Structure 1
C-alpha cells in the first residue's frame, strides 16, 4: 500500500464564496483575489477593523510562524490558540509591546477564561428569554416559573462575580499589573488618554476572543453585553442590531445588583456584583485560590468548571464553546469543518464535544436558593496553583513585528513545509549542535510530553515492590 505524505503546512482555509453556476448547473467556487476590497474581509469591533478572513499566503505565514508549538495538549483547542489567532487578525495600531505583553499575563488569561464561562451561559439565557417571549403572549406565570427564573438569574450573577474578582486584580495595579496602572507612582498624574485607548483595545480583543470561542455566533449580543459589563449602560453605543429587553427580561439577565445611577457616579456592573455578596456566595471569591470544603453543590460545580483546564472539559461533560475540541475538526481560522465532523460519526449518544447535542439549561430544583442558605463551609486546607505557559521577550517581539514578518515573506521570504525544511537542513554543511546536545534536547521534550506516562510507571513499580514484599512475608 502506497504511503501518502500529508503536509502539515498546506493551506486548510480557502478564502472565497460559493455561487450557483446556472450554465453548468453546479456550484462554483470564486476565490477572493482582491481581499482588500472584499466585503467579507473585515469586521468592525468597537470601531476597530479586525480581519474576518485571510488569504492562503497569510495562512501559511500564520501556521509557520505563530501557531502554538507542539506540547502535551497541542491536538486540542485551548484559549491560547484563540488568543494567538485574534492577535494575528487584529489591527496594526494594536501592535505595541506593552499591549502584547499585557495580553500574555496570567491575570489577563484568568479574566478571559472567566468571560468564556460567563458568555457560555449568558447566550443560553438570552435564547431562553427570547423563546419565553414568543411563548407567553400575556399568559399568567406560576410561582414555580418565577422561582426558576430567579434561580437562573442568581446563577448568572455568580459567573459575573468570577469575572469581577479577576478584573479587580487588573485594575488595582498590584504585582505584575503595576506597570499597566494609569497612575504614575511619583507624580500621581493619570495617563487618561493612554489608559482609555488601552482599555478600548482590550475590550475589542476580548470581544473577538469570546466570539470565536462561541462558534462565531451571536456577535452583537456578545458585543453589547461586553460593553455593558465593563462600561455600564450609559456608555453602550446605540446600534440597530442590538436587541432591547423589557424590564422583566433585564432583571433576569442583569441580576439583582444591577443599578442605573447618574453617569457621574455610575460604576460598572462588574464592580456592582462585588458590593452586595450574599454569605452563601462568599466561597465563590476563593474559587481557583483555595480548595472548597463544604456541602454546597452549586459552589462545587462552579469550582469544577473553573479549575478544570479547557483541554480536559470532556472529562466532566461540560461545554465552553470550542475549548477542548480536537483541532482536526477546525480549520486555521478555528471555524468548524463539517466534513471532518461527519467523518467523526458523532451521534446523540456519543458526542463528547457537544457538537450534535444542543447546549441547554438544567431546570433547577424548587427552593434550591433557600437550601443553599443552610449549607456549611469548612476551613480550607489546600491552596490551588495554576500552571501557565511562560512567555519570553522574543515571543513578544515576534508579535510586535507581525506586519514586518508578513511583508518579509511576501517579498521573497521562504515559506517552507516539513519536507523542504528537512532537505535544507540535510544539505547544510554547518553543524550548530553536537549530537549529544540534540539527543539531550530530544529527551527533554519527550519527558515533558510523556510526564503522565512516567508517573504511571512509577506508581506501577511502587505497587510491584509492595506486592513482592507481601509475597516474601507470606512465604516466611
Structure 2
C-alpha cells in the first residue's frame, strides 16, 4: 500500500502552475503557462570576472619553456647590467600570463614611460603599506603591556602622512591614464581627441587587465609575499571599497573590520568621502581632491618637471619614480627587488639562496646551491613581510620640511623623455601576433 497521502499536497509550496495563467502561443501553436510574478533578477558577476573571466598566471614553467624564454624574450645581461629592472619583471609576468589577455594595445600600454612611473609608484606604495601594516599590528599588540602616550600619536601621524603622499604619487599617474593625458591620450575610451562614442567594453578590458597585471608585477617585485594584502589594497585604492572585487571574490566584508581604529586611520587615511555609488570617487582621486591637508603640489610633477632645490623627501620620491634601476641602491632608495643583482635570482625572479653543507669542512667543504621555493611556490595567502626573509631594505622616507624655500617662478624645464626598452616591446608584439594568428587558424579549421 502506498504511504503517499494526497492531503500532503497542501504542504508543498510553489507548485509549477501557481501564480500564473494559461494563454495560447501562436508561435508554438499550443497553450503555454505564463507566470504573473515579476522576473527574478540574477545577480550579475563582478566586473573583473564578467570582462576577463578567470585570470591565472602560470605557477611554473618547464625546462623547455625556460629555454625558449631565455632565448627569445629575456633581457641579455652583462657585468655592467647585472641588476633587476622593471622590464625584467614585466617580461616574467607577460610570459606566465594567459594568452587571452595578451593584446597588442596592452603590450604597448605596459611599455610607456608614464606606465613605468605608475608601476614604480605602486610598488613603492604597496611596499610601504605592507611595512606599516606590520608595524601597526606590532604596536597594537604592545598596547596590552604598554600605555599609549602623545608621542604615539605623533609617530602614527607621520606614518599616515607618508602613506597619503605615496598614494598621491600613484594618483598623479593614474589620473593621467583615466583622463587620457600625455602618453595615455590614444588609450582614452573616447579616442585621442575625446570625440568618439565611449568604447566601454574596450576600456573595461584594458582597465581590468592592467589592474591584474599590476598586482602580479608588485607581488613579484616584493619577493612574492603577501599576495592577498597587495590584491585587496590595489583594488581598494583604484576602485573604492564598494567595487573591491577582490573582497567579493574572497567572500570578505571590509578588510579593515578586524583591526583597531588607530590602525584603520593610519592605513586608510582621512581623505575618504562617503557618497552614493553614482558619484563615488576612488580613494586615489579622493587624495588629489582632499581639502583636509596641505599638499606639496610639486609631488604632481615629480619625474617630469625639473624642480630646483628639492627636499630630501621629494628627492627620494623622484628617485623612486625616475632613477635607472642601477642607481637605486647607490642612492639608498628601496623599491622591492629593483636594482638588486639579477644573478641572485632564477629565471622567474625567485631568489636563489645558498646553504653550506653541514658535512663540509673549512678546507674542502662543498657549498650547495638551492632555490628558495616553498612547497607551493605561488601560494597566495595573507602574510606579513616579517614572516620570511626579506631581500630588500625597509623604506625610510625622509620627514617633510616645515619651512622650505620655493622658487620665484614655476619651473619650465622637463626631464628628457625616457623610452622603455623598445627591443623588448617588439619581442612581445611579435609574440602577440603569433598567438592571435594561431587562434585565428584554429577558429577557421
Asked whether the two chains share a fold, i.e. TM above 0.5, the reply is yes
Q: Is it true that 1:250 corresponds to 2:264 in the alignment? A: yes
Q: Which of 225, 236, 250 pairs up with 1:217?
A: 225
Counterpart for residue 21 of structure 1: none
State whether residues 73 and 91 of structure 2, in contact with CA within 8 Å, keep that contact through their aligned partners in structure 1: yes
Where does residue 57 of structure 2 map in the other structure?
50
Q: Alpha-carbon deviation of 1:72?
A: 8.0
1:375 equivalenced with 2:404 (yes/no)? yes
Query: Could you list the per-position Cα deviations for residues 225-276 of structure 1 after superposition, in whole angstroms to 9, with x for gaps in the alignment?
Result: 1101110110113326856433322210122212332222111111111113
Match of 1:160 in 2: 167
- Name which of 409, 418, 430 aligns with 1:398: 430
Give the 3 Å change call, closer, same or farther, for CA 59–291 of structure 1 in structure 2: same
Q: Corresponding residue for 1:133?
A: 140
Distance of 2:356 and 2:197 partners within structure 1: 55
* Deviation of the 1:156 alpha carbon: 1.1
Q: Is residue 201 of structure 2 the alignment partner of residue 198 of structure 1?
A: no
Give 1:301's match in structure 2, choosing from 303, 310, 316.
316
Give the Cα separation in 1 of the matches to 2:218 and 2:194. 37
Alpha-carbon distance in structure 2 between the residues aligned to 1:300 and 1:323:
18
- Given candidates 333, 336, 340, the residue that maps to 1:325 is 340
Report if the CA contact (8 A) 2:223-2:391 is conserved: no
Consecutive unaligned residues in structure 1, runs of 5 or more: 1-44, 345-354, 408-476
Indicate the RMSD between aligned Cα atoms, in angstroms. 3.2
1:103 aligned to 2:110?
yes
The CA distance in 2 between the partners of 1:361 and 1:199, in whole Å, is 29
Query: What is the count of residue pairs matched by the alignment?
Result: 348
CA drift of 1:405 comes to 11
Alignment match of 1:189 (pick from 188, 193, 197): 197
Matched, 1:282 2:297: yes
1:187 and 1:362 map into 2 onto residues whose CA distance is 45
Q: C-alpha offsets along residues 81-135 of structure 1, whole Å, 9 cap, x if unaligned?
A: 0001101011111121111111112221111111111112111111112212222
2:420 alignment counterpart: 389
Please give the alpha-carbon distance, in whole angstroms, between the structure 2 residues aligned to 1:186 and 1:153.
37
Segment of structure 1 superposing worse, 241-250 or 103-112: 241-250
Residue aligned with 2:422, SS: coil
* Residue 74 (1) aligns with residue 95 (2): no
Q: Is the 8 A contact 1:116 1:210 kept in 2?
A: yes
Measured in 2, the distance between the counterparts of 1:358 and 1:395 equals 30
Q: Is the 8 A contact 1:73 1:311 kept in 2?
A: no
Q: Would the alpha carbon gap of residues 124 and 402 (structure 1) be closer, same or farther in structure 2, given more than 3 Å must change? A: farther
Equivalent-residue separation in structure 2 for 1:378 and 1:314 (angstroms): 29
The alpha carbon displacement at 1:292 in A equals 3.0
The answer to whether the Cα contact below 8 Å between 1:329 and 1:341 also exists between their aligned partners in 2 is no
- Cα distance, 1:381 vs structure 2: 7.2
**Could you tell me whether the CA contact under 8 Å between 1:129 and 1:249 is conserved in 2?**
yes
Could you tell me how far 1:402 is from its partner in structure 2?
Answer: 5.9
Deviations 1:42-82 (A, max 9, x none): xxx99411111111111111111110135785311100000
Is 1:272 paired with 2:286?
yes
Equivalent-residue separation in structure 2 for 1:190 and 1:341 (angstroms): 61
Tell me by how many angstroms 1:203 deviates.
Answer: 0.4
SS in 2 for 1:338: strand
Q: Find the partner of 1:338 among 326, 329, 353.
A: 353
Q: When the two structures are superposed, what TM-score results if normalisation uses the length of structure 1?
A: 0.66
Indicate the larger mover: 51-60 or 175-184. 175-184
Q: SS of the counterpart of 2:329?
A: helix
3-state SS, counterpart of residue 300 of structure 1: helix
- Aligned mate of 2:151, from 140, 144, 167: 144
Distance 1:320 1:402, change over 3 A: farther
Indicate yes or no: 2:247 matched with 1:233: no
The DSSP-based 3-state class of the residue aligned with 1:82 is helix
Q: With structure 2 as the length reference, what TM-score do the two structures score?
A: 0.70
Following superposition, the deviation at residue 138 of structure 1 comes to 8.3
Q: Which runs of 5+ in 2 are unaligned?
A: 1-51, 358-366, 369-388, 440-445
Shift of 1:363: 9.5
CA 1:252–1:232: 2 relative to 1, 3 Å: same
Do the aligned partners of 1:230 and 1:268 also contact (CA within 8 Å) in 2?
A: yes
Alpha carbons of structure 1 residues 319 and 296: separation in structure 2 relative to 1, 3 Å: closer
- Greater helix share, 1 or 2? 1
Tell me the CA shift for residue 301 of structure 1: 3.1
Q: Distance in 2 between matches of 1:167 and 1:104?
A: 15
Q: What secondary structure, in the 3-state scheme, does the structure 1 residue paired with 2:277 have?
A: coil
In structure 2, what is the Cα distance between the partners aligned to 1:102 and 1:331?
Answer: 27
SS of alignment partner, residue 196 of structure 1: helix
SS in 1 for 2:81: coil
